[in-house]
Structure 1
Amino acid sequence: MFGYIVPSIEVLDADERERYHDVYCGLCRSLGECCGQRCRLALTYDLTFLALLLGSLYEPDECCGQARCAPHPVKPHGFARSECTDYAADVTVALAYYKALDDWQDDRSVRARAFAAMLAGPYRDVRVRNPRICEAVDAGMADIGALEQAAFAAAAPEADAAQPAPDAAANRFGALMGELFVYRPDDYWADDLRRLGARLGKFVYVMDAAMDFEDDREAGSYNPLVAMNARPEDTHDSLKVLMGGVAEAFERLPLERDLHLMRSVVYAGVWQKYNTQQSDKEKRRG
């Protein structure tokens, strides 16, 4: 994933930091037990937020305890696992599998190809266990790939094809994430979760384009900002508007447990990588 959907640790107290670590470790345990031990390599902070969000909304029973694991064999550490971390584990595998395939196709990364091959079996298991996740990812990534190829074709010399809308791929990624945020499709909260996921997904896509601008321009990889001859700095106001929409959708949900922890993600954590990159640029210019 992208690594943007993380908490702002400095605003959390000791109990909240421990709670976040417990759910993160719970997601890791879900990956190992539901998808296979090798799938723990796909663990990300991004989907920990989804596990926290769904856990706060639906309040399922949690299995909590202290245990050692392969990554931390010396000292026992806390974990909190539930049906929501199990769901987030399936989403993690599906997204990681396609991310690895995308990296292989874009960069011919042998490491990405090997990772995709390792995840192929667990991905098939997720398709059997939770087909809605894989159907959403399959369709979404195929559409995004087609939009990016169309953008490349339209930019070619003497091309007469129409250029897709600059935010078309971002909108499609948002729609994909919206479906993945829906835990129970027929549930009362499905539309609100879909709205939140879609807005957050679009924000992440645009943020990633701004963060990867220089690398994508040099590599010739698709980036909507490069295609528009825009500067990453020009996206700041748009990102603020997009994140305002995320915050509005987030606050509509009746969340109580871990609320301050999740707010640290929505209002501060998502900006950390961007702010660090902009600060580094300013230092180089200075």
Structure 2
Amino acid sequence: MYGYLVADESALDEAEKARYQQLYCGLCHALGTRYDLPSKIGLSYDMVFLVMLLGSLYEPAEDTGSERCAVHPMKEHAYCVSSSTDYAADVSVALAYHKLLDNWVDDRSISARAGMAALKRSYETARLRAPHACSAIERELARLGELERADSDRIDEAAACFGRALGEIFAWRDDFWAPQLRTFGLHLGGLIYLMDAACDYEHDSKQESYNPFIASGIDPAHARDAIANVAGAAADAFERLPLERDLHLMRSVVYAGIWTPYNRCYGTETESGDA
């Protein structure tokens, strides 16, 4: 379920694009220093959203630097890191490991099995560093697996599994903001799950794989209003948080960027005739 929490770069100015890239490079840097090279398989802009969200809410001190890497060997690039970056690196490893596990269980993918072996030690470390988040991921994905094996048509329940997992990931600290972060994660995670299922609908139909839209007999092309309601609940929970740093960047994710994969599959409201 990667590729949804990504900014709409057409709405960003050059300074914001540079900041976004620095945070991405910072996450890459943290994965390399806290873990190892294979752990960078978990690098994604989705987890940069987590860096921004927690960085904006808690305002941890940021460190900046520049370095060369395998992707940019000829030129140094700037990066920005904080304690929220370190936490996002831990979560990145956990999510990457479970994505590979899911691919192995579903398809018996040899590459997924090899990836799991490469990440095994890093995942064990991530479980020690972020036990609350990793426990939630394990618990909720196990429940989701049960629904999939039962070919459940309870689409809201399936979406809630990923929502609860993301809610616990967002609840970085057990403090005043944890309940609101859980609420935001619940709605946003449910939205990501629904959009991912909608975008995988055709592939899953051909492969006869589980998909909640198939199980419930719902055509995702006609589910835009229902998905938009979940998006609205996520946006409302987001706006209730006192965020300032990187706010415009995050809004470009929550209000626009997150719709990009769905719109690529089914067109915009105007194109699909829903306007």
* Same fold, judged at TM 0.5 (above): yes
**CA contact under 8 A between 2:133 and 2:165: conserved in structure 1?**
no
Matched residue of 2:150: which SS? helix
Q: Which amino acid aligns with 2:161?
A: R
Q: Which amino acid aligns with 1:140?
A: E
1:51 equivalenced with 2:39 (yes/no): no
**Of 244, 254, 263, which residue of structure 2 is paired with 1:256?**
244
Q: Which amino acid aligns with 1:227?
A: A
Listed one character per residue, the Cα deviations across residues 178-235 of structure 1 (whole Å, up to 9, x for unaligned) are 00111102x1111111111111000000001100001011111110001122212122
Q: For 1:32 and 1:140, how far apart are their aligned partners in 2?
A: 28
Q: For 1:147 and 1:275, how far apart are their aligned partners in 2?
A: 27
Q: Which amino acid aligns with 2:3?
A: G
- Which residue does the alignment assign to 1:229? 217
**Of 199, 214, 227, which residue of structure 2 is paired with 1:239?**
227
- Which residue does the alignment assign to 2:94? 94
- Which residue does the alignment assign to 1:166? 155
Number of matched pairs = 270
- Which residue does the alignment assign to 2:164? 175
Q: 1:130 deviation in Å?
A: 2.0
User: What TM-score comes out, normalization by structure 2 length?
Assistant: 0.95
Which shows bigger deviation, 225-234 or 209-218? 225-234
Q: For 2:125 and 2:207, how far apart are their aligned partners in 1?
A: 34
Instruction: Show the 5 A alignment for 1:1-286.
Output: 1-151=1-151, 163=152, 165-185=154-174, 187-279=175-267
Report the structure number with the largest CA radius of gyration: 1
**CA contact under 8 A between 2:153 and 2:212: conserved in structure 1?**
no
Q: Which amino acid aligns with 2:167?
A: G
Q: 1:164 deviation in Å?
A: 5.6
Provide the alpha-carbon RMSD of the alignment: 1.5
Q: For 1:164 and 1:241, how far apart are their aligned partners in 2?
A: 19
Matched residue of 1:79: which SS? strand
Q: 1:132 deviation in Å?
A: 1.2
**Among the aligned pairs, what percent are the same residue?**
50
Q: For 2:41 and 2:160, how far apart are their aligned partners in 1?
A: 29
Q: For 1:257 and 1:92, how far apart are their aligned partners in 2?
A: 22
**CA contact under 8 A between 2:153 and 2:216: conserved in structure 1?**
no
Q: For 1:237 and 1:117, how far apart are their aligned partners in 2?
A: 42
Q: For 1:117 and 1:170, how far apart are their aligned partners in 2?
A: 29
Q: 1:279 deviation in Å?
A: 3.7
